[in-house]
A and B are shown apart, each in its own frame.
Chain A
Amino acid sequence: MSAVEVQEAQIAHDLHKVVARDVNVYYGEAHALKHVDLDIGSNEVTSLIGPSGCGKSTFLRCLNRMNDVIEGCRVTGQITLDGEDIYDKSLDVVQLRARVGMVFQKPNPFPKSVYDNIAYGPRIHGIGAGKSEMDEIVESSLSRAGLWEEVKDRLEKPGTGLSGGQQQRLCIARAIAVNPEVILMDEPCSALDPIATAKIEELIDELRQNFTIVIVTHSMQQAARVSQKTAFFHLGTLVEWGDTQELFTNPRDERTQGYITGRFG
């Protein structure tokens, strides 16, 4: 690295919560993500858009090392969180995941009660000592995810008995219950109706005060509404990224242009 590059990298680290440099992901032989450089700002919403199969989820899963559990998945390059390399050997993955929470593409509540779904995270991280404190965490998490009114009378009922959209909101509530610094959301609204979607978007906007958010979405309107930064992926490469406003009104690359105008995808 030249002196200038080092200086630039330093600036990037100072300004951004998460910095990804030359990230490559391989599933066995398949090169799923190619040379991705992306900075994710603190207290900002960054949305990842792109056609299906372009590597959005893959990139998202790199940020909390969920790819570690996939057999045959290999990640190269560097990703830092607050300037710390998250792929460093000395870093504890469990702590990383407590700091970087995740809402998965498919709702995956625990086969436990609604209450326990929310309380599990705080419990294992030593948040919420007493019963009343835990009750409070559960209620506030569920309210923020817009689910409280629907489930307050059935907190002891199984979380898997909720509808698909309710389950997704339960998973969002579960993720925010541990107050991570970064929240990764993989298409959190794909199973929701417009009203619930609006609630989640409101929540995202509100969460931005305290959290850094990365969201994968297939809806360009949603990306435009909730995010400050947008990154466009195509066939495993990051084609371009920047201010959402800028990217949607004035795309530099013609692939981006094609995608946002609906010519392919």
Chain B
Amino acid sequence: MTEVAAPITEIRRPDLSGKRVARRYAAERRFRAYGLTAIFIAVAMLGLLLVSIVSKGYSAFVQTYVELEINFDAAKIDPDGTRDPAKLAAFNYQGLVNDALYAQFPDVTERRERRSLRGLIGNSAGIELRDMVLADPGLIGTTREVAFKSSDDFDTFVKGHISRDLAEADRRVKDQEIAWIDALEADGQVDVRFNTTFFTTGDSREPEQAGIWGAAVGSFLTLTITLLLSFPIGVLAAVYLEEFAPKNRLTDLIEVNINNLAAVPSIVFGLLGLAVFLNFLGMPRSAPLVGGMVLALMTLPTIIIAARAALKAVPPSIREAALGVGASRLQTVTHHVLPLAMPGILTGTIIGMAQALGETAPLLMIGMVAFIVDIPGGFTDPATVLPVQIYLWADAPERAFVAKTSAAIMVLLTFLIFMNAVAVLLRKRFERRW
């Protein structure tokens, strides 16, 4: 052998020096720290939001009541003793409440003072008494302790949102009224109870009579329409585009347009709804039916995009396997692809529905941003929705609506949590990905 050995190319082994390892560890630690910081910031923001909402809103879930001794004087209510319901209903029961107040505070005789004394009790008191008497005429002639909702200022004061230390001129509750409230409290006539009214009534100009139920029902009806329209249409469109449509210019164009649609400001959908559903088709104004249709238009692109992504994520080998044993394309989709894509589709749907639940702008144009007292009984009744209710209360001048606003936000968040829980549950059921 001669010494002309080919130059041995140097073999470069991996660099295993401690320095490299330390650098790698440091990079990993740094990354972990960034991640934790990010999570901390997100959680802190969320916590701040929740704390501020709950601390402002919790007091709306209770209501101050004042117990008064009411004398159902037969001579006044039913002088002829006929117990005729029409006559009983016509009587002015507010007078009984006033009498009770005057009896409690006999020193108050001046007209202006008397008026502010009457103002302690919410002005639904007379109606409540009338309903009591109509339900049970036997009350006439007796004397009873009856609890009435206090006025909103009284309520706010008792809940501590109006400070005694403020100068009288800056305070909605004057010294005189505070003295009365203190007297009533000393007698044990003031009672803070769970506010059922808030969960059972619709909106009202009087804070103590305003409730969230109308808006909640409105939201429910609206979202029902939205879901019924957007889910089937969205899934069918996505399945067709993803599994059946030939890939050509036209489908590309459709895809681009759907993606664009997802970015269109929601108010535009409202304008469309106004022009098409209300003006052209003559559908009713302020109705959950129309609101649901408008929101469905807005939700559709979200669902289509999410569903297409979910369908794309199903491995092609599953389709081949099904086609290979002689399944038709439709069977392949319905038996194999769609069930596997369902968790993703549901996630997208819930995201879309959650967006729709919080939407106000498109509803503005079709008259759902309105003061509506009655609880909607159907899809064509005038209704409003939760975010609109929040907006209306946030805009109201009375101090007591501040708490109601936050309480309404809590109800909206509860709705959202409920929806997400349903989504998680459904996902768990479908997610048999093995």
Q: Which residues of A contact B (CB under 8 A)?
A: 64, 66, 69, 71, 94-95, 97-98, 101-102, 104, 106, 108-111, 120-121, 124-125, 158, 160-161, 171, 174-175, 178
Contacts and interface: CB of A to CB of B under 8 A. Distances in A.
Contact of B325 (A101, A111, A161): A101
Contact of B321 (A98, A110, A124, A158): A110
Given A69-B323, A108-B321, A125-B326, 11 more contacts: A71-B247, A98-B326, A102-B324, A104-B317, A108-B315, A110-B336, A120-B335, A124-B335, A161-B434, A171-B321, A175-B325
Contacts of B336: 110
B interface, size bucket: 20 to 34
Contacts of B321: 104, 108-110, 171, 174
A69 B321 CA distance: 12
B320 A108 contact: yes
Interface string B319-349: 1111111111001000110001000000000
A94 B326 CA distance: 5
A95 B434 contact: no
Given A110-B318, A120-B335, A174 B434 contact: no
Contact of A69 (B320, B326, B340, B434): B320
B433 interface: yes
The 8 closest A-B CB pairs, nearest first, are A98-B326, A158-B434, A108-B317, A121-B325, A97-B326, A102-B324, A108-B321, A111-B434
Nearest to A96: B326
Given A71-B247, A111-B433, A161-B434, A104 B327 contact: no
Contacts of A69: 316, 319-320, 323
Contacts of A158: 434
Interface string B335-378: 11000100000000000000000000000000000000000000
Contact of B328 (A64, A94, A121): A94
A158 B315 CA distance: 17
The winner among B322, B331, B340 for most chain A CB atoms within 10 A is B322
B432 interface: yes
Contacts of A111: 318, 340, 432-434
Interface string B16-37: 0000000000000000000000
Contact of B326 (A110, A124, A171): A124
Nearest to A171: B321
A175 B323 CA distance: 11
Interface string B294-323: 000000000000000000000111111111
B324 A101 contact: yes
A178 B326 contact: yes
A86 to B, nearest CB: 14
B320 A178 contact: no
Contacts of B327: 94, 120, 124
Given A111-B432, A161-B434, A66 B322 contact: no
A69 B432 CA distance: 26
Contacts of A121: 325-326
Contacts of B315: 108
Contacts of B335: 120, 124
28 contacts: A66-B324, A69-B316, A69-B320, A71-B247, A94-B326, A94-B327, A97-B323, A97-B325, A98-B325, A98-B326, A101-B324, A104-B317, A104-B321, A104-B324, A106-B317, A108-B315, A108-B318, A108-B321, A109-B321, A111-B318, A111-B432, A120-B325, A121-B325, A124-B326, A124-B335, A160-B434, A174-B321, A175-B325
Nearest to A70: B316
Interface in B83-127: none
A85 B334 CA distance: 30
Contacts of A97: 323-326
B320 A104 contact: yes
Contacts of A110: 318, 321-322, 336
A94 B331 CA distance: 11
A121 B324 CA distance: 9
Which of B318, B324, B432 lies at the interface centre, i.e. has the most chain A CB atoms within 10 A of its CB? B324
Nearest to B321: A108
A84 B316 CA distance: 29
Contacts of A108: 315, 317-318, 320-321
Contact of B323 (A66, A71, A174): A66
A175 B336 CA distance: 17
Contacts of A161: 434
Contacts of B322: 110, 120
Nearest to B434: A158
A153 to B, nearest CB: 18
Contacts of B324: 64, 66, 97, 101-102, 104, 175
Give the most central of B315, B328, B331: most A CB within 10 Å: B328
A124 B334 CA distance: 12
Nearest to B324: A102
Contacts of B331: 124
Interface string B244-271: 0001000000000000000000000000
Nearest to A94: B328
A85 to B, nearest CB: 19
Contacts of B326: 94-95, 97-98, 101, 121, 124-125, 178
Contacts of B432: 111
Nearest to A92: B328
Contacts of B319: 69
